């Protein structure tokens, strides 16, 4: 088991280490590495090389062959332990075993200078996580298409026909499904968790003969963990590998896509019955999410025997359910590329939860498991995990701002302000914000949760040789801000300092008096946003997203921000400290609610459609 204590060092943990938050040395190393990969691929005769994705294990490039075929090159991260890097070769082998139209073909596996590269065909389209971030919750008719196509892949994968071994994918989730909008077809990628199944769907050992059974250690699971945000109980508990894993991944995927979330944890609050799905689909989802294994197995059986019924469900393309905006997001006048990073007080949020070891599988060397630990999800209840995950998802939009949620006896009080830099994503962002609120309403606790979203491209970096040296300050270093008069009618903003309720456990950096005085004076000028100081032994970062709301004070505001830079070398402590100011009118209040209201796809759509058609005809 990884040492939890050792992993929990900083409170404000970015979801993913943004390139823009790396020290200049690390950023240069990564840039050089990308350049090297690109050069290497060009040398091999590929053109139009671009970085198209990154995951926990590696980076993915795309390139085109001389004959115009598009390939994908998956590089393992060179900073991972060798045992994990070797997994890419196993992934290549498992992919090479698959021959299905919905799976990109394996091309080659190379190892050069300690660097492994997996080459495969490029699946056309967008991965479904990105798709759902762009367009929000997917409609039920699309969900059914995704579901049926995945069942078709499973049908092939899990079959023993023609001497084939039962293979499981083991990591079905939105970002591993590439959706081609024009043909409405999907392709399944990322075979890094794929194994040959030890059991079939009925739980019978899979083996061709008796001797095989004797020679195999049937007590030890060969399962890979998959993504902890999407896997089911069987895989999480390290049971023998079976096709059940894929059905759990499938249902988590459909659930996440239909609810606009990035995980399955919220299913007890944003229930399958609240997603606007046809009742039969919600029933199947409920069965697959059931606590009792027997109900889950029944659900899979039902799903497989009722595919015909699902295929023939009728939807009304003009039907759009009404949606309530619980928290608005404001659109910036200018659209631009923002590298959003979320810093939140999730560590103190978790600290209140009882830490229990709910994982029994020996997974200490699994990178996914590390990620789970790093994000402090282990030991939390499902609703809390869902809430934290929903906040993290906000960081995937070009969105800046902040939010403070306070739980009290009557419910929650929410102070928030968000600005979105891509107008087309407004619906998706507002759905994600609504999810944060719905999940917060289902959690009973006392205290405050705070989250700041800022653009990592605006972060100011300072470096020094060692912890006892002073930081080198570039004369051009400036804390950026923008001026906005649009919010002038808003009442004086409320400050949310992380110190506001006395000494905050999330704060472990003591700022020098000079900076504290500047912050106090800044607080008297109408502005919103956040400023966060992060001091490491040889690297210091000042993250910010400041909006001045009183133009008449601009000269003073600017000079105070310059004063902060001047005082940087008075800091003789390490850790983090931050301040957030929200322009909030009155904070919004919401009562507690254990679950979202029920909502199914309306029945008799066919009849309504026919009536509508008849009326249309009549009008003509
Ligand atoms: N064959 C492919 N065709 C198109 N896009 C691909 C392909 N393979 C990978 N990608 C893109 O690269 C991203 C990362 O790839 P992949 O999921 O295989 O990496 P990983 O390191 O295993 O990620 P994870 O952390 O999800 O396990 C995908 O989400 C997808 O956008």
Render pLDDT for 581-609 as a digit per residue (tens, 0 to 9): 887 667 899 999 999 999 999 987 655 54
Hey, which residues does 494 pair with through a beta bridge?
582
Claim to verify: residue 344 and residue 306 sit in the same structural domain: no
ipTM, interface predicted TM-score of the complex: 0.96
* pTM as predicted: 0.88
Residue nearest to atom 20 of ligand 1 (CA): 55
Would you tell me how many other CB atoms lie within 10 Å of the CB of residue 473? Answer: 14
**372-404 pLDDT per residue, tens:** 545 556 667 899 989 999 999 999 999 999 998
Domain of 405?
A: 330-588
pLDDT in tens, 522-581: 988 988 888 999 998 899 999 999 999 889 999 999 999 999 999 999 998 888 888 888
Task: Please tell me whether residues 372 and 346 are part of one structural domain.
Answer: yes
> Is 563 part of a structural domain of the chain?
yes
Q: Check if the beta carbon of residue 224 is closer than 8 Å to that of residue 193.
A: yes
Q: How many CA atoms lie within 13 A of 344 on its CB side?
A: 28
Phi, psi dihedral angles at 97 (to 5 degrees): -80, -10
Q: Supply the residue whose CA is at minimum distance from atom 8 of ligand 1.
A: 189
Q: Look up tokens 């997974």; give the residue.
A: 363
Query: Is residue 11 assigned to a domain?
Result: no
59: pLDDT strictly greater than 50: yes
For residues 433 and 509, state if they share a domain.
yes
Are 57 and 194 part of one and the same domain?
A: no
In a domain, 414, yes or no: yes
The model's pLDDT over 203-246, given as tens digits with 9 standing for 90+, comes to: 888 876 555 555 556 668 888 888 889 999 999 888 999 999 99
Q: Do 170 and 48 sit in the same domain of this protein? A: no
Could you tell me if residue 605 is inside a domain?
no
Residue 264: burial class (beta carbons within 10 Å; 0-12, 13-18, 19+): buried
Q: Which two tokens stand for residue 310?
A: 């699902």
User: Is residue 74 part of an annotated ligand binding site?
Assistant: yes
Which residues sit with their C-beta closer than 6 Å to ligand 1? 52-53, 55-58, 60, 72, 74, 104, 120, 122-123, 127, 175-176, 178, 189-190, 192
| 134 and 117 inside one domain | no
Listed range (406-410, 572-576, 611-615) with the worst mean pLDDT: 611-615
What is the total count of domains within the chain?
Answer: 3
Of 311, 342, 366, at which residue does a domain stop?
Answer: 311
Which of 58, 86, 121 finishes a domain?
A: 121
Local structure of residue 66 (DSSP, 8 states): T
> Is the predicted pLDDT of residue 66 greater than 50, yes or no?
yes
Is residue 279 included in any domain, yes or no?
yes
Residue 170 lies in a domain: yes
C-alpha closest to that of 106 among 91, 121, 84, 90: 121
Q: What is the CATH number of the domain that holds 291?
A: 1.10.510.10
Instruction: Give domain status of residue 615, yes or no.
Output: no
Of the candidates 224, 225, 223, 228, which has an alpha carbon nearest to the alpha carbon of residue 240?
A: 223
Q: Are residues 469 and 432 in the same domain?
A: yes
Burial-class residue 399 by CB neighbours within 10 Å (0-12, 13-18, 19+): buried
Span from the CA of 54 to the centroid of ligand 1 (angstroms): 7
Q: 344 pLDDT exceeds 60? A: yes
Say if residue 387 is in the same domain as residue 447. Answer: yes
Tell me, yes or no, whether 386 and 505 share the same domain: yes
CATH of the domain at 87: 3.30.200.20
Residue 616 lies in a domain: no
How does DSSP assign 153-217, residue by residue?
Answer: HHHHHT--GGGPPPEE-----GGGEEEETTTTEEEE---TT-EE-SB-TTSPBP-SSHHHHHHS-
| Digit-coded pLDDT (tens) for 458-515 | 999 999 999 889 999 888 899 999 998 665 544 455 555 543 444 455 557 888 999 9
Let me know whether 429 and 543 are in one domain: yes
Last residue of a domain, one of 121, 140, 168: 121
Give, for ligand 1, the residue of 16, 52, 369 to mutate: max count of ligand atoms closer than 8 Å to Cβ. 52
The pLDDT value given to residue 45: 86
**In angstroms, what is the span from residue 335 Cα to ligand 1's centroid?**
27
For a mutational test of ligand 1's pocket, the pick from 173, 175, 253, 368, i.e. the residue with the most ligand atoms closer than 8 A to its C-beta, is: 175
Ligand 1 pocket test, candidate residues 91, 103, 134, 189, most atoms within 8 A of CB: 189
Whose Cα sits closest to atom 21 in ligand 1?
A: 55
Separation of alpha carbons 313 and 331, rounded Å? 38
Half-sphere exposure of 10 (CA within 13 A, CB side): 16
Residues 457 and 574 in one domain: yes
Weakest mean pLDDT among 9-23, 190-204, 506-520:
9-23
Separation of CA 72 and ligand 1 centre (Å): 9
Same domain, 240 and 268: yes
302 Cα–ligand 1 center, Å? 31
CB atoms closer than 10 angstroms to residue 345 = 23
How far is it, in rounded angstroms, from Cα 257 to Cα 230? 12
- Name the burial class of residue 190, with classes exposed (0-12), middle (13-18) and buried (19+) by CB atoms within 10 angstroms of its CB: buried
């Amino acid at each position: 088991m990884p040492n939890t204590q050792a992993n929990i060092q900083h409170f404000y943990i970015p979801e993913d280490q943004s390139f823009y938050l790396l020290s200049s040395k690390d950023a240069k190393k990564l840039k050089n590495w990308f350049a090297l990969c690109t050069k290497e691929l060009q040398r091999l005769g590929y053109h139009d090389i671009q970085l198209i994705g990154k995951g926990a294990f590696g980076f993915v490039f795309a390139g085109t062959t001389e004959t115009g075929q598009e390939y994908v090159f998956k590089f393992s991260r060179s900073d991972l332990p060798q045992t994990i890097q070797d997994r890419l070769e196993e992934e290549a082998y498992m992919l090479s075993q698959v021959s299905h139209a919905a799976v990109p073909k394996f091309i080659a596996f190379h190892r050069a200078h300690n660097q492994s590269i997996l080459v495969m065909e490029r699946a056309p389209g967008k991965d479904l996580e990105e798709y759902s971030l762009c367009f929000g919750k997917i409609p039920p008719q699309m969900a059914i298409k995704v579901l049926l196509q995945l069942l078709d892949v499973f049908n092939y994968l899990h079959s023993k026909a023609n001497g084939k071994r039962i293979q499981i994918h083991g990591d079905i989730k939105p970002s591993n499904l590439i959706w081609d909008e024009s043909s409405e077809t999907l392709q399944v990628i990322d075979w890094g968790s794929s194994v040959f199944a030890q059991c079939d769907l009925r739980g019978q050992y899979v083996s061709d003969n008796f001797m095989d059974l004797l020679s195999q250690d049937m007590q030890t699971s060969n399962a890979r963990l998959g993504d902890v945000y999407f896997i089911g109980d069987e895989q999480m508990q390290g049971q023998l590998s079976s096709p059940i894993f894929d059905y759990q991944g499938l249902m988590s995927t459909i659930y996440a896509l239909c609810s606009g979330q990035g995980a399955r944890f919220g299913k007890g609050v944003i229930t399958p019955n609240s997603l606007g799905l046809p009742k039969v689909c919600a029933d199947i989802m409920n069965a697959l999410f059931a606590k009792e294994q027997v109900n889950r197995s029944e659900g899979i059986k039902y799903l497989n025997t009722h595919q015909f019924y699902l295929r023939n469900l009728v939807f009304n393309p003009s039907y759009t359910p009404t949606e309530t905006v619980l928290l608005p997001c404001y659109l910036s006048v200018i659209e631009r590329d923002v590298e959003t990073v979320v810093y939140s007080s999730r560590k103190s949020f978790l600290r209140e939860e009882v830490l229990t070891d709910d994982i029994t599988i020996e997974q200490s060397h699994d990178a996914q498991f590390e990620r789970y630990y790093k994000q402090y999800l282990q030991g939390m209840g499902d609703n809390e995990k869902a809430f934290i995950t929903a906040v993290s998802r906000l960081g995937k939009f070009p969105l800046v701002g902040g939010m403070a949620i306070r739980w009290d006896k009557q419910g929650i009080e929410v102070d928030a302000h968000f600005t979105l830099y891509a107008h087309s994503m407004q619906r998706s962002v507002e759905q994600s914000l609504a999810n944060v609120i719905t999940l917060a309403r289902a959690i009973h606790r006392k205290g405050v949760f705070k989250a700041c979203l800022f653009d990592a491209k605006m972060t100011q970096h300072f470096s020094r040789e060692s912890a006892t040296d002073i930081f080198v300050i570039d004369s051009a270093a400036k804390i950026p801000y923008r001026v906005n008069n649009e919010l002038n009618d808003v009442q004086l903003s409320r400050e949310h300092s992380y110190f506001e309720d006395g000494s905050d456990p999330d704060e472990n950096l003591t700022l020098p008096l000079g900076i504290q005085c500047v912050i106090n004076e800044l607080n008297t000028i109408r502005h919103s946003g956040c400023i966060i100081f992060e001091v490491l032994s040889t690297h210091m970062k000042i993250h910010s997203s400041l909006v001045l709301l009183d133009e008449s004070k601009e000269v003073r505001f600017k000079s105070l921000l310059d004063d902060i830079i001047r005082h940087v070398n008075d800091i003789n402590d390490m850790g983090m400290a931050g301040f957030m100011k929200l322009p909030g009118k009155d904070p919004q209040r919401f009562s507690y609610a254990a679950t979202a209201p029920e909502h199914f796809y309306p029945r008799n759509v066919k009849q309504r459609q026919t009536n509508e058609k008849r009326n249309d005809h009549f009008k003509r």
